[in-house]
Amino acid sequence: MAEENVYLPVKKATAFMIDALLKMGVPQADAEIVADVLLASDLVGVRSHGIAHLKMYYDRMKQGLQQPVTRWDIVHETPTTAVVDGGNGMGMVVGHHSMKIAIDKARKMGLGAVAVRNSSHYGIAGYYATMAAREGMVGMSVTNAHPSIAPTFGVEPMLGTNPIAFSAPTDESFPFRFDAATSIAPRGKIEVASRAGEPIPAGWVIRKDGSLVTDSTNLIEEMDDCKAALLPIGGSGELMGGHKGYGLATVVEILSAAFQDGAFLSELHDTDHEGNIHPLRIGHFFLAINIESFLPLERFKKTAGDIVRELRESPKAPGEKRIYSAGEKADAISRRVAAEGIEIPPGLQKNLNALRAELDLTGHDLGF
Amino acid sequence: MAEENVYLPVKKATAFMIDALLKMGVPQADAEIVADVLLASDLVGVRSHGIAHLKMYYDRMKQGLQQPVTRWDIVHETPTTAVVDGGNGMGMVVGHHSMKIAIDKARKMGLGAVAVRNSSHYGIAGYYATMAAREGMVGMSVTNAHPSIAPTFGVEPMLGTNPIAFSAPTDESFPFRFDAATSIAPRGKIEVASRAGEPIPAGWVIRKDGSLVTDSTNLIEEMDDCKAALLPIGGSGELMGGHKGYGLATVVEILSAAFQDGAFLSELHDTDHEGNIHPLRIGHFFLAINIESFLPLERFKKTAGDIVRELRESPKAPGEKRIYSAGEKADAISRRVAAEGIEIPPGLQKNLNALRAELDLTGHDLGF
C-alpha cells in the first residue's frame, strides 16, 4: 500500500469491479452495468460514488440489505408509463433497465416515465439522465435516499440528499448535464472534511440546537444519530431561499415515492422502528422526452449549445477566469481520468485491498 | 385615494380586471382567463404578479410588445406532445390553453408535454402546475424571462428569474404546490425594498464589480442597465451551492427555448441589439403526468399527504413554531384574501385609478 495517492487505470478498475461483483454473486450482465455506473461516477469526478462505494455495496449485501441477484419486474405498464419493482436488488441494475424502458417508450410515444419501488442506492443520478441524452432525448432522474436534510425551520434529517439530474444533448462533444443533491453539500464532502480533521463552512449542517456546525469532528456519527442534519440549497431559514431547496427536495421525495406507493422519509433508514435491519426500499423516478416529437434534433442541439455558450462567454466577476456550464467540468475531468487513471487515496487503497483479499482476487494487480 | 392600504373584495377586483381587459381589446373569454391568473397570484400572496401587473400589461400592449387578441396556434403535434405558437399574445391565455392541451393528452396517453414559442409574461408559473393537480395529475411548468440572473462567477443578468412550478394532489384540502424563481429573491422584493428605501440582505444581488449589494437605492435601474444582477439560489460562487441554482436556471432556459426553436437569454430584452423594441418571444414548457397511469389516485394522494405531514411534524429548531410544506402558506393566505379582500397599498391605488380613468371605467367603485 502506498502512502500517497495512486492512479488506477480505468481498464484495471473496471476489470477488478466486475470480478469483485461476480464474486459477490452479481450475475455477469448486471456486474457490467454496476461497474459502468460506478466508473461513470469516477469519470465525472464524483469519487464518493465510484469505486469507493464498491465495498459498501458488498457490506450491504452481506447484511442482507440488498440482493446480489436483481429480480426486477414491471408491475404495471401503459404505452408511456411503467411501475417497476426492484426486488431490493442492485439499484444500478434497476435504474439502468428502468431508464431504458422510459427511453424505449419515449422513442415510440414521445414521452416515457417509469416509477420504481423497492430499489437500493443507484449511484449518481446523472448516469440515467445522460443515457437519454445519448439517445437524442432529454432525460431526468430523481431518487429518494436515507434521511439527511432537515426541512426549513426543522433540525432533524428527514429528506434524503434527493438529487435532481437533467441531461440534454447539445451540438458540442458532451451533453448539458445537471446532477445535484438538493442539500448544499453532499454527505461525501462532510466525510472528507471529517477524515482530514478540517472545519466545514457554516451553513452546510445544522445541529439539533439550531446552531450551524463548523467543527467536522464526529459529524457523520452525529448525523447518523439524528443530532445534526444537512441544510437544503439556500441554507437555514427562508432569507436566502432555504425553503426553495427544501421544496425541491420534497418534490423529489413525492416523485420518487408517491407514483409507486413506496417508502419515504423516515422509512428509508436501515433499521425499522424496532431496530431490526430491513432493505431501504428506495424509490426512483425516470423521465425521457423524445426531442424529435417536438422538432428536428439538430435544431434542439443548436439552441441548447447556443444557450450554454452565451452563458460561458458572459462577463466574468473580477478575478474569475471562467464561467462553466453544467457538464463542462465533468467532461474535462472525464478526459483526464481516462488518460491518467482514477485517483485512489491511501484510505481507499486499504479498503480495496481488504475487498481483494476477502474476495480472493489477488490475481488483480491494482498497483498498491 | 386612501393614505393607507385598502382591501379590495375579490369579486370587485375580478369584475374590474375583466372590464379593463375588455377595454384593452382582449376578448371576453381571454379576459376571464387573464383575470383568473392574476387573481390566483393575489390569492397565494404573490402580489407583485396579481392585479398590480394589470397596468404593465396594458402599457406593453400600447407599445406593441404584446397583442390583446391572442392568436395562438398548434404548429406541431403528436399524441403526447405539441409545440404551440403564442403569436405574441397574452401569456396567460397561451399558458392556459397549452397546459390544457398537456392535460388532455395526459388523460388519454398518460403523459403530455407542450413547448411554447412567441409568448409573453404568463403570470405565476404555479397557476399552470396547479391546473394539472386539480385534474388528478402532477403538473410542471417552467418559463424563461427577461434576463435577471448572473451565472456562477459571472456578473451580468443573463438568465430570467426562470421559475420552476410543480404541483401534486394530496389527500388534504389543498395540493402540494412548489413555485419558485431560481434566483434567491424575486425582482418584486427588490422593488419593494427600493421603494421603501430599505437595504436588502447581502447575497441577493451582485454588482458588475463583483460586490454584493445591500443598498437598494436605484437598484432596479442598475439591474435594467445590466450593472447589477440577481444571484441564483445558493448565492455567489460555488461554496454554498450557487452553481446548483445557476444550473437549475439553465435547465429552465433549455426546457423553455430548445424544444420550440425559440428565443433565449439576451434575446429576451424588450429591445433588439439596435435598440428597437420587439416582442419578448418568451418560451414556456408544460408537463402533465396522469397519476392513474401508475396507480390509483387515492394511493398517490395518501403518500403525498403522508410525506408533507411527516415533514411538518418533524422536530423544530429552537424558537421555531412551525414547519411548512410547499403550498401550505399559499392556502392560508388564499382563505384570508378571499375573506378580507386584496390588500391595495397607496401606490397601487394610484396605478389602478390611472387605469380606471384612462379606460373610462369610472363606474367601478374600487373603494379608493
DSSP track, A138-190: EEEEEE--SS-BPPTTB-S--B----EEEEE--SSSS-EEEEE-SBSS-HHHH
Interface residue A154 vs chain B (CB under 8 A): yes
pLDDT of residue A272 exceeding 90, the answer is no
User: What number is the ipTM of this complex?
Assistant: 0.98
Give strand ranges (E) for B37-104: 73-77, 81-85
Distances (CA, A) of A166 to A131, A169, A171, B263: 11, 10, 17, 21
* Cβ contact, residue pair B253, A307, below 8 Å: yes
Judged by a CB distance cut-off of 8 A, whether residue A298 touches chain B is: no
Whether A68 and A90 have beta carbons less than 8 Å apart is answered as yes
Of A109, A154, A166, which has the smallest distance from its Cβ to B317's Cβ? A154
Counting every residue written for chain A, the total comes to: 368
Q: Averaged over A253-278, what is the pLDDT?
A: 92
Substitution target in A290, A307, A308, A329 with the highest count of B β-carbons within 10 Å is: A307
Angle, alpha carbons A86-A89-A95 (nearest 5°)? 55
Rounded distance between C-alpha atoms, residue A148 and residue A188, angstroms: 12
Mean pLDDT of B36-45: 96
Reference A42, options A85, A21, A11, A1; nearest CA is A11
Delineate the domains of chain A, giving CATH numbers in brackets. Answer: 6-184+231-298+328-358 (3.30.1370.60)
Q: Are B345 and B364 in contact (CB under 8 A)?
A: no
Q: Does A250 touch chain B (CB under 8 A)?
A: yes
CB atoms < 10 A from the CB of A232, how many?
30
The closest of B234, B240, B157 to A241, measured between CA atoms, is B234
Cell 404551440 identifies what position?
A: B84
B115 in reach of chain A (CB within 8 A): yes
Beta carbons within 8 Å of A46's beta carbon, 6+ residues apart: A124, A188
User: Which ranges of B176-327 does DSSP label H, i.e. alpha helix?
Assistant: 187-196, 219-224, 242-257, 297-312
- Cα(A160)–Cα(A156) distance, integer angstroms: 11
Query: Sign of the CA dihedral B53, B55, B61, B64?
Result: negative
Under 8 Å between Cβ of B153 and B173: no
Q: How far is residue B266's CA from residue B258's CA, in Å, rounded to a whole number?
A: 15
CB distance from A311 to chain B under 8 Å? yes
Asked if pLDDT for residue A188 goes beyond 90, the answer is no
The reply to whether residue B304 touches residue A115, judged by beta carbons under 8 angstroms, is no
Give the residue-averaged pLDDT of B247-267.
97
Cell triple for A80: 408511456
Q: Average pLDDT of chain B? A: 96
* Residue at B333: amino acid letter: I
List for chain A the helix, strand, coil content (%; round to 5).
45, 20, 40
Asked whether B101 and B133 are in contact (CB, 8 A), the reply is: no
- Residues of A in Cβ contact (< 8 Å) with B299: 261
Asked if residues B163 and B185 have their Cβ atoms less than 8 Å apart, the reply is no
Structure confidence at residue B196 (pLDDT): 85
CA B330 to centroid of chain Cα atoms: 14
pLDDT for B14-23, tens place per residue?
999 999 999 9
Average pLDDT (A351-358) is 96
Taking only residues 23 to 62 of chain A, the set having a beta carbon closer than 8 angstroms to any beta carbon of chain B reads none
Confidence of residue A79 (pLDDT cuts 50, 70, 90): very high
pLDDT tens per residue, range A203-240: 999 999 999 999 999 999 999 999 999 999 999 999 99
Inter-CA distances, A343 with A223, A347, B16, B92, B196, Å: 27, 11, 67, 53, 55
Strands (E), B174-216: 176-180, 205-207
A57 confidence band (pLDDT: 50, 70, 90) = very high
Residue A240 three-state SS: coil
Q: What are phi and psi of A342, to 5 degrees?
A: -85, 130
Over residues B265-307, the pLDDT tens digits come to 999 988 888 888 889 899 999 999 999 999 999 999 999 999 9
Q: Is A289 helix (H, G, I), strand (E, B) or coil?
A: strand
Pick A111's closest partner by Cβ from B113, B164, B314: B113
Query: What percent of chain A lies above the pLDDT cut of 90?
Result: 92
- Rounded Cα–Cα distance for residues B17 and B23 (Å): 10
| pLDDT of B59 higher than 70 | yes
Report pTM: 0.98
- By Cβ distance, the residue of B78, B153, B258 closest to A303 is B258
Summarised one tens digit per residue, pLDDT across range A2-31 is 789 999 999 999 999 999 999 999 999 999
Q: pLDDT digits over B198-250, tens only? A: 999 999 999 999 999 999 999 999 999 999 999 999 999 999 999 999 999 99
Average pLDDT, integer, range A271-279: 86
pLDDT tens, residue by residue, B114-169: 999 999 999 999 999 999 999 999 999 999 999 999 999 999 999 999 999 999 99
- Cβ-based neighbour number of residue B202 at 10 Å: 14
Q: What is the pLDDT of residue A1?
A: 63
Query: To the nearest whole percent, how much of chain B has pLDDT over 90?
Result: 92
User: Helices A297-312 and B242-257: crossing angle, nearest 10°?
Assistant: 140
Nearest to B284 by CA among B147, B182, B167, B165: B165
Q: B334 CB contacts (<8 Å, ≥6 apart)?
A: B43, B44, B45, B174
Name the amino acid, one letter, at B47: R
